[in-house]
Amino acid sequence: MDPWVQGQLDQWSKYPATIPANGEALAQDRGGPGSVPGLHLRLRIGKQAGQWTMEEPTVGFYLMRKIHGRKVNRLLGDRRIMSVESARKQARELLEKLNQGEDPLVERRRAAEAEKLRTLTYREALEAFLEQSPSLTKGTRKKYRESFVTFRDVADEPLTYFTPVRVKRIHEERSKESKARADQDMRVLRLVWNWARENYQTTEGEAVLGANPVSVALNRRRAGQTGWNRVPRKESTIPRAQLPDWFQALYELREQGDITEARRVSCLLLEALALTGLRFNELARLPWSQVDLKRGLLTIPDESSKNRRALTRPITRRVREILKQTGSSEGFIFPGRREGKPLNNCRKLQMELQERTGLWVIPHDLRRVWTSAASRASIPAVVIKRLLNHMSHAEEVTEGYIRLGLDELLDYSQTIEDTILGDAGLLTPRTTDGRLADLLAGFSEDEKQRLLLDLTRRQLGEGEE
């Protein structure tokens, strides 16, 4: 054992109070002309049962120096197997490389990180992305995981397996089954690749992955080659001329004597979707705590909204009646078959409606029914976007200055509802008395009393004149 090490241990044994808090001591290389600046011998002791122990101390050679403004602290070797001459030689070589901007440790880390990424599979990368994206909805997570169908034979291959040539081949094979799914799943691969490229980098911030193979394979069309399938956006809806048939079939099914409660609630939900334009999960999972019938408002919380932005909508006349008919007063407005759970789908009802009308209508088609009616009623585009909770593009600066009050939104919403019900043959011309009755239905007893008092005062004042 080196005399310095033995002397230091003897001192600490005799005077435990002199032991540093980290249990370490350093001796700098000052051995004459052959010494290396920054070379140190470091002694470290540990604890047993909370007490310092001099048994089995660790002694090693370290290079500790500031180079190019950065502190360097590198282990060169264990003193038990490395001589002073070897430590000095290794320290000089390391200093020379560091002064030239080369760092063996960083290079080893890069190699290790590159190797780690080379073994990161598509499945692992997607699950890691989902784990670090808590804001994604359950439906979005499910859709992303459905990409395993397209990549069923290669999901456990490393990301580096996906070259542009292979991506193009997989896309073409999947397109034979479903062009829409082929494009969708390639977008998921593109997303996961970009995420991995951003998150799996060297310590210097350099990307290990190269250009995205999906973009290379599909974005640029070359002679004789095809790219994305460019699947047209879905435009399915209920034709205006068939709205009476669809609503009549919906009402008939709801009024059947042997109908189950879940089926009755499903009928109410589909009608509410057609009259509000809301997304299925936004309305189906809406709890009573987000509804204020007295003020005539319902709020889609940000966690239920597709774009994570809360939406407050006025309640129209028919929608108010639907909410009162759902049979629930707490929990979810549209309760499902399982206690405490909302309706999760209306597929059986959709099939029955198809048998009666010949129309296969999914819940999102009803959003297009509402939007089409809004267009026919000449509702301003900014109002439609506001009621649908669509995000405005950044360049649409003028929209940022338009602030719509809830009263205005109610008028527009009621116009759209009346347009749909009118096209369905369900809206009779409203008399003045009928409109007053509708207004009074939304008033509390106190509000009715105040209105009655105000009207009486006006009538008495006119009589005195």
Distances from the Cα of 42 to the Cα of 54, 119, 160, 224, angstroms: 14, 37, 43, 68
What does the pLDDT look like over 191-229, one tens digit per residue?
999 999 888 776 556 677 888 999 998 876 554 556 888
- What the block records as the tokens of 388 is 């649908």
Which residue in this structure is represented by tokens 């190269």?
A: 210
Beta bridge partners of 65: 72
* Cβ within 8 Å of residue 390, ≥6 positions away: 307, 384
Residue 81 has a pLDDT of 87
Whether residue 96 has pLDDT greater than 60: yes
Residue 462 has a pLDDT of 60
Nearest partner of 300 among 173, 363, 389, 188, judged by Cα: 389
* Cβ within 8 Å of residue 304, ≥6 positions away: 281, 282, 285, 286
Nearest partner of 412 among 441, 384, 451, 444, judged by Cα: 384
Which 3-state string (H, E, C) describes 1-32? CCHHHHHHHHHHHHCHHHCCCCCEEEEECCCC
Residue 457 has a pLDDT of 82
Residue 401 has a pLDDT of 44
- Tell me the C-alpha distance between 110 and 426, whole Å: 70
Whether residue 463 has pLDDT greater than 70: no
What does the pLDDT look like over 403-423, one tens digit per residue?
577 888 999 999 999 999 999
Residue 140 has a pLDDT of 87
Of residues 224 and 24, more confidently modeled: 24
Residue 395 has a pLDDT of 44
What does the pLDDT look like over 309-356, one tens digit per residue?
888 999 999 999 999 998 777 889 999 888 888 888 899 999 999 999
Q: Percentage of the chain surpassing pLDDT 70? A: 88
| pTM of the model as a whole | 0.57
**How sure is the predictor about 398, in pLDDT bands with cuts at 50, 70 and 90?**
very low
